[in-house]
Amino acid sequence: MNIIAIIEARMGSSRLPGKTLSDIFGKTLLERVIDRVRLSERVSKLVVATSVDRSDDAIEEACRLMGVACYRGSQDDVLGRVYEAAVQYNGDIILQCGADNPFYDPKIIDNLIDTLMIGGYAYAANDMVLSFPEGIDAHVIRFDALKASAEEALLPSEREDTPRFIWNHPDRFPIYNLIAAPESKYNRPEIRLTVDYKEDIELARSIYSSLPHGAAFSTDELIALLDKNPAWLAINEHCEQLSAYYKP
């Protein structure tokens, strides 16, 4: 099966404009995201899905320089944009990513892909109940479920958030959500590792300046580093996640 990662990326952001190409210790945020997703052993193709707005010309140029495929679609209809990218690149299974998560865990990604394929699920994730750190997540969608969503979703919230139509119709789409066991070292929902605010970028820069092995660090190493530097977690502890399944 053709398993493709589609990274949703735009320069426009109500909270942090231009964050996608912000510097994270020598590389852009988008490059950091791509580096982590590329570590997956299951993903065969990576596509950045940006908009046709002129402000996103910079993202297309960045993709060209990185040798990464870029699809340009609607500015506001994110679901439609992702679906069109999946059609163009013949995706059977889609790893839906945001360009604001520079700490994706490739092992979790591959675990969820395998679970979706073996278990016959339409959608698999690990953040519908927050147990892992915010930002150590993955959303895997079968093409048929993405197609149904793109063709049927009417609510603005369902067009803006790619998996929300599936979330809203669990009776139609078999869903699997991976939860970190209470005793697991990964059960750290108090840790925030996504990038929506300038404080999030500050934390990401501190982490990347201290992590070994370039992009190929493990989540174990990441959590150990944060535990050695507890003051870092205070940098963005007041920042609020605005869009997620577990949020009202």
**Residue 242 included in any domain:** no
pLDDT grade, residue 248 (50/70/90)?
A: low
pLDDT grade, residue 108 (50/70/90)?
A: very high
Q: Mind listing the pLDDT tens digit for each residue in 116-141?
A: 999 999 999 999 999 999 999 999 99
Residue 192 pLDDT exceeds 70: yes
Residue 246 pLDDT exceeds 80: no
How many domains does the chain fold into? 1
Q: Give residue 178's pLDDT.
A: 98
The span from the CA of 14 to the CA of 169, in Å, is 29
**Cβ density class 150-187: b for 16+ within 10 Å, e for less:** beebeeeebbebbbbbbbebeeebbbbebebeeeeebe
Residue 18 pLDDT exceeds 80: yes
pLDDT grade, residue 214 (50/70/90)?
A: confident
**Residue 113 included in any domain:** yes
Structure tokens of 109? 């990604």
- Percent of the chain exceeding pLDDT 90 equals 92
**Residue 239 included in any domain:** no
**Residue 247 included in any domain:** no
Is the sign of the CA dihedral 170, 104, 17, 64 positive or negative? negative
- Mean pLDDT, the chain, rounded, equals 95
Cα 85 from chain centroid?
16
Q: What is the CATH number of the domain that holds 116?
A: 3.90.550.10
Rounded (5°) CA angle 159-161-164: 90
**Residue 240 included in any domain:** no
Q: Give residue 160's pLDDT.
A: 95
Structure tokens of 168? 């809203």
Match 């991976």 to its residue by tokens. 178
The span from the CA of 88 to the CA of 197, in Å, is 33
- Percent of the chain exceeding pLDDT 70 equals 100
Instruction: Give the range of the structural domain holding residue 161, as residue numbers without chain letter.
Output: 3-233
Point out the least confidently predicted range of 10-19, 94-103, 217-226. 10-19
Distance of CA 70 to CAs 47, 66, 77, 88, Å?
Answer: 6, 10, 17, 11
**Residue 248 included in any domain:** no
Match 């190493």 to its residue by tokens. 221
- What is the model's pTM? 0.96
Length of the chain measured in residues: 248
Point out the least confidently predicted range of 12-26, 55-69, 101-115. 12-26
Q: Mind listing the pLDDT tens digit for each residue in 68-107?
A: 999 999 999 999 999 999 999 999 999 999 999 999 999 9
Q: Mind listing the pLDDT tens digit for each residue in 135-154?
A: 999 999 999 999 999 999 99
**Residue 238 included in any domain:** no
pLDDT grade, residue 15 (50/70/90)?
A: confident
pLDDT grade, residue 227 (50/70/90)?
A: very high
The span from the CA of 37 to the CA of 31, in Å, is 10
